[in-house]
């Protein structure tokens, strides 16, 4: 099969339009779920728009996000007068439609089959995980589009464009540079004609973007990597502190492996093994077209494996919808469908009478994959007390108000003038460097937080506080604000908030006047008064 340069034509365009229509219908059925971390980007974008710079807290130059381009695009939307939630959801939807189109064209380039292109568009459009991630307010959809478009450009021998797209993907999410490195290494290790010229065209655009980004980060933030990346990188510090027998357990941690396995099982199940088949089939051929196709297939397969490795490195993710791995779904889809086409062509080449049954069987398999990725039951758009708590901070007359929380997004965005300590370390360089790793949530240094004497502390999982409840400094200086509307799962709609307030502060007096149904208790009473809720759905945050 040599369809690497197969033209598209009007039929392929109609397939893409049909895929976009299916995707649009799918998006319209999803609940309005916004990930809390999206509001961290919104606060950075808001501060940039209002002239405070790329900061979370005014005057603190800390890169607490890992989606630089997404923050800039969000700020652009604010400049144009758009509401940030609607703007980012629109960008996510547009990116998803672009991914459907790019995925269909990429699959057609690999197979030359309009059936394969339609299958790819259908699977991507029916993926509830990818659709939900694209509409979550984060950069997932855009990153998926850029990766798919980069592979499409590579398949058309537009190597400079592929490099540029990888560079843009890298300033959208840091692993974009790793994808570019995989693509470059695949060319270097190949026997493709004109290899040095291709390497040069692949290198210059992305390296230029990388150098520009490094210079900017050093000048503005004083660091090469985002602070959020350092806060969430738990693997290396855990390996450093562990004894040798535990290294293997940390490297192959159960949380990360389960996350990667669940994604593969959700996407294609055992059919995911077909992703390897096209590379095996192409490796025995020697033509220039087959050599280029082999390099592309090797890059795509290595990129999918890279994504799975990053998921294991991060100990999985607390967010739903496989946010870490859905950007790699279009490439995996193209590989699986390409492998399926190669598989059904083998018997059909020997016995043409088997061609029709083989195609019917393949169509059934693709339909099964699309149906299994379409989730008819999705979690409802739950609420939380965060907006009410942000209003309390906004209206407080507490001098030099300082808050601390591990649920940074909504509280930070809706209380824009409040200085906040991120207890997970994303926007706090001290916790990111010295805090105890708590994968996949970040890091924790409660002693440091208490040393800052915040007037307001909020946490969303009681289990994170159990070992701190008896600390004298905490017990003597803070009250637990026991208000059922915030604490009990039924009242908080599965997003409980445990609020602590500094004793004898102005904020405490305001809360006493405002909430007559709240009891101000010692933190020690928290373990006795609250039912066992350690399994609460933090994953729906």
Task: Give percent of the chain above pLDDT 70.
Answer: 88
Q: Residue 356 pLDDT more than 60?
A: yes
Return d(Cα 321, Cα 318) in angstroms, integer: 10
For residues 323-345, b (16+ Cβ closer than 10 Å) or e, as one string? bbbbbbbbbbbbbbbbbbbbbbb
Q: Report whether 366 contacts 122 (CB < 8 A).
A: yes
Return d(Cα 45, Cα 87) in angstroms, integer: 12
List, for residues 471-506, the tens digit of each pLDDT value: 888 999 999 999 988 876 545 455 788 999 999 999
Q: Report whether 465 contacts 498 (CB < 8 A).
A: yes
pLDDT at residue 254 in the model: 94
pLDDT at residue 277 in the model: 75
Q: Residue 207 pLDDT more than 80?
A: yes
> Mean per-residue pLDDT for 397-404?
96
| End-to-end Cα spacing for the chain | 47
Return d(Cα 53, Cα 171) in angstroms, integer: 18
Beta-carbon contacts of residue 21 (< 8 Å; ≥ 6 apart): none
pLDDT at residue 20 in the model: 96
List, for residues 310-320, the tens digit of each pLDDT value: 999 999 998 87
460: which DSSP letter? S
List, for residues 506-534, the tens digit of each pLDDT value: 999 999 999 999 999 998 888 665 544 44
Two structure tokens written together for 262:
């669940």
Confidence of residue 8 (pLDDT cuts 50, 70, 90): low
List, for residues 213-252, the tens digit of each pLDDT value: 999 999 999 999 999 999 999 898 999 888 888 999 999 9
What's the Rg (C-alpha) of the chain?
Answer: 25
**For the ranges 78-92, 185-199, 387-401, which has the lowest average pLDDT?**
185-199
List, for residues 72-110, the tens digit of each pLDDT value: 999 999 999 999 999 999 999 999 999 999 999 999 999
**For the ranges 65-69, 303-307, 494-498, 504-508, which has the lowest average pLDDT?**
494-498
Q: Residue 462 pLDDT more than 70?
A: no
pLDDT at residue 486 in the model: 86
Count Cβ atoms below 10 Å from residue 217 Cβ, excluding itself.
Answer: 16
Q: Where are the alpha helices (DSSP H) in 374-505?
A: 386-395, 408-414, 429-434, 446-451, 472-477, 484-487
pLDDT at residue 465 in the model: 67
Return d(Cα 473, Cα 144) in angstroms, integer: 47
- Judging by beta carbons within 10 Å of its beta carbon (0-12, 13-18, 19+), is residue 436 exposed, middle or buried? middle
pLDDT at residue 538 in the model: 32
Question: Which of 461, 458, 515 is closest to 484 using CA atoms?
Answer: 515
pLDDT at residue 245 in the model: 84
Q: Residue 273 pLDDT more than 90?
A: no
pLDDT at residue 385 in the model: 85
Between 277 and 45, the more confident residue is 45
Confidence of residue 348 (pLDDT cuts 50, 70, 90): low
- Give the distance, in angstroms, between the CA of residue 370 and the centroid of all CA atoms in the same chain: 22
Mean pLDDT of the chain, nearest integer = 88
pLDDT at residue 505 in the model: 97
Element (H, E) at 148: helix 140-155
DSSP string of 220-279?
HTS-SS-HHHHHH--HHHHHHHS-HHHHHHHHT-HHHHHHHHHHHHHHTGGGGGGGTHHH
Strand 419-422 relative to strand 519-521, pairing: unpaired
List, for residues 136-159, the tens digit of each pLDDT value: 999 999 999 999 999 999 999 999
> Mean per-residue pLDDT for 396-402?
96
List, for residues 416-456, the tens digit of each pLDDT value: 999 999 999 999 999 999 999 988 888 989 999 999 999 99
Instruction: Specify the 3-state DSSP secondary structure of 522.
Output: coil
């Amino acid at each position: 099969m040599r369809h690497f340069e197969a033209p598209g034509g009007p039929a392929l365009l109609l397939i893409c339009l049909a895929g976009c229509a299916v995707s649009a219908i799918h998006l319209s059925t999803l609940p309005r779920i916004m990930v809390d971390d999206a509001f961290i980007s919104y606060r950075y974008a808001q501060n940039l728009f209002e002239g405070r710079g790329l900061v979370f807290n005014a005057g603190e130059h800390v890169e607490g996000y890992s989606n630089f381009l997404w923050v800039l695009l969000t700020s652009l939307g604010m400049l144009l007068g758009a509401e940030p939630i609607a703007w980012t959801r629109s960008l996510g939807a547009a990116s998803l439609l672009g991914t459907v189109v790019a995925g269909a064209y990429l699959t057609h380039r690999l197979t030359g089959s309009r059936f394969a292109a339609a299958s790819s568009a259908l699977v991507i459009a029916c993926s509830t995980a990818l659709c939900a991630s694209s509409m979550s307010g984060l950069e997932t959809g855009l990153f998926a589009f850029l990766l798919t478009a980069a592979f499409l450009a590579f398949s058309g021998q537009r190597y400079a464009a592929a490099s540029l797209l990888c560079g843009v993907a890298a300033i959208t999410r840091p692993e974009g540079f790793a994808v570019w490195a995989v693509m470059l290494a695949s060319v270097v290790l190949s026997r493709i004609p004109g290899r040095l010229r291709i390497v040069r065209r692949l290198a210059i655009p992305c390296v230029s973007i990388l150098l520009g980004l490094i210079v900017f980060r050093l000048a503005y933030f004083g660091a090469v990597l985002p602070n959020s990346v350092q806060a969430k990188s738990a693997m290396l510090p855990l390996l450093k502190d562990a004894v040798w027998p535990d290294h293997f357990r940390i490297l192959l941690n159960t949380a990360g492996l389960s996350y990667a396995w669940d994604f593969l099982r959700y996407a294609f199940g055992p059919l995911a093994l077909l992703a390897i088949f096209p590379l095996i089939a192409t490796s025995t051929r020697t033509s220039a077209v087959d050599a280029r196709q082999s390099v592309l297939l090797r890059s795509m397969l290595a990129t999918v494996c890279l994504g799975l490795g990053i998921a294991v490195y991060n100990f999985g993710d607390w967010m739903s919808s496989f946010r870490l791995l859905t950007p790699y779904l279009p490439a995996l889809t193209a590989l699986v469908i390409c492998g399926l086409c190669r598989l059904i062509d083998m018997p059909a080449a020997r016995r043409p009478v088997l061609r029709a049954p083989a195609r019917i069987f393949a169509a059934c398999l693709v339909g099964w994959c699309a149906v299994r990725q379409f989730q008819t039951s999705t979690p409802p758009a739950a609420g939380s007390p965060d907006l009410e708590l942000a209003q309390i901070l906004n209206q407080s007359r507490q001098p030099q108000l300082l808050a601390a929380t591990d649920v940074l997004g909504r509280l930070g965005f809706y209380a824009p003038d409040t200085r906040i300590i991120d207890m997970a370390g994303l926007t706090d360089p001290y916790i990111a460097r010295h805090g105890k790793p708590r994968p996949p949530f970040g890091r924790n240094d409660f002693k440091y937080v208490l040393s800052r004497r915040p007037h307001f502390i909020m946490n969303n999982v009681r289990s994170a506080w159990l070992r701190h409840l008896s600390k004298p400094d905490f017990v003597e200086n803070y009250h637990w604000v026991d208000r059922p509307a915030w604490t009990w799962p039924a009242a908080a709609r599965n997003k409980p908030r445990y609020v602590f307030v500094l004793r004898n502060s102005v904020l405490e007096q305001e809360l006493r006047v405002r909430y007559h149904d709240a009891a101000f208790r010692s933190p020690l009473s928290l373990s006795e008064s609250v039912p066992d809720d350690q399994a609460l759905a933090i994953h729906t945050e």
